[in-house]
Structure 1
Amino acid sequence: MYTQSRIAANAYANVGLETGVMAANPHQLIIMLYEGAELSVRMAIRHMNEGDLVKKSAAVTKASTIILEGLRAALDTRQGGDLAIQLDALYDYMGKRLMLAHLKNQTEPLEEVLGLLRELHTAWKQIGATGQAAATPLQHPIAA
């Protein structure tokens, strides 16, 4: 019974997530990527502190995938100019710091990446709050 309830709850959560993604505009999708990356890094720190290396590995991999295949891949260096180039380098740096944390089981690089993600996430939310997101076609230019 518990397993069926859990399966149903997971299915419901997946439908909710898929619906949220389908309904989101490009600006909101970038925010979701930042949130997912932050959560994954926080989970990696937690699992590392608990000594659960398998879960730590999965969380670091997920954070890296979100940053490199989500945020970094969404950059438009032609329209985003210097800002997009700088973000590309920053995402590359974060990927390297995640790898270091993973290989050496160190939380310091994870904390650093988490701080960077928080700063970028906050800035991205502020762009949306000021209405600039609606003024430009978004593709993470930060999507511009």
Structure 2
Amino acid sequence: MNAMAAMRQYQSVNTQAQAVDASPHRLIQMLMEGGLTRIAQARGAMERQQTAMKGELIGKAIGIIGGLREGLDLQRGGELAANLDSLYQYMVSRLLEANVKNDAAPLDEVAGLLRNVKSGWDAIGQ
């Protein structure tokens, strides 16, 4: 096992350990952090013309945003939950567009939107 593979394995175990002990609030933060990381990695893969890697990373970001959508309580969350649901749907469509058109602009847009949502979420926890 090379050093990079060992480091990735350690990070995976560390992330899993954090998730086990995390509050529901922290789990949402971790999802948002993971989404931002995957988007940034996808952008790097796009710049290096690593098409398969770009697609895989965008797919992971879409999965994370799907997880955020699934966490919404649309029955009790009212207008806020409905607005977040629409925003997450929009983010997914923009990520798909970034992948198909090999365009970094939608990646940057979604990262900015997700950072805004995350900053609001972070403020709730304080």
1:60 aligns with 2:58: yes
> How much identity, in percent, do the aligned residues show?
40
Unaligned residue ranges in structure 2 (runs of 5+): none
1:141 aligned partner? none
What is the correspondence of 1:14-25 to structure 2 with a 5 Å cutoff?
14-25=12-23
Using a 3 Å threshold, how does the CA distance of structure 1 residues 27 and 106 change in structure 2: closer, same or farther?
same
What is the correspondence of 1:127-142 to structure 2 with a 5 Å cutoff?
127-129=124-126
Structure 2 letter corresponding to 1:104 = K
2:37 aligned partner? 39
Per-residue CA distance 1:56-97 (angstroms, 9 max, x = gap): 0111000000001x1001000112110000000000000000
1:49 aligned partner? 47
Separation of aligned partners in 2, 1:112 and 1:7 = 31
Separation of aligned partners in 2, 1:93 and 1:105 = 18
Q: CA RMSD in A?
A: 1.3
1:118 aligns with 2:100: no
Query: How big is the shift at 1:5?
Result: 5.3
Using a 3 Å threshold, how does the CA distance of structure 1 residues 45 and 10 change in structure 2: closer, same or farther?
closer
1:93 aligned partner? 90
Structure 1 letter corresponding to 2:80 = L
How many residue pairs end up in the alignment?
A: 126
Per-residue CA distance 1:44-67 (angstroms, 9 max, x = gap): 111111111111011100000000
1:136 aligned partner? none
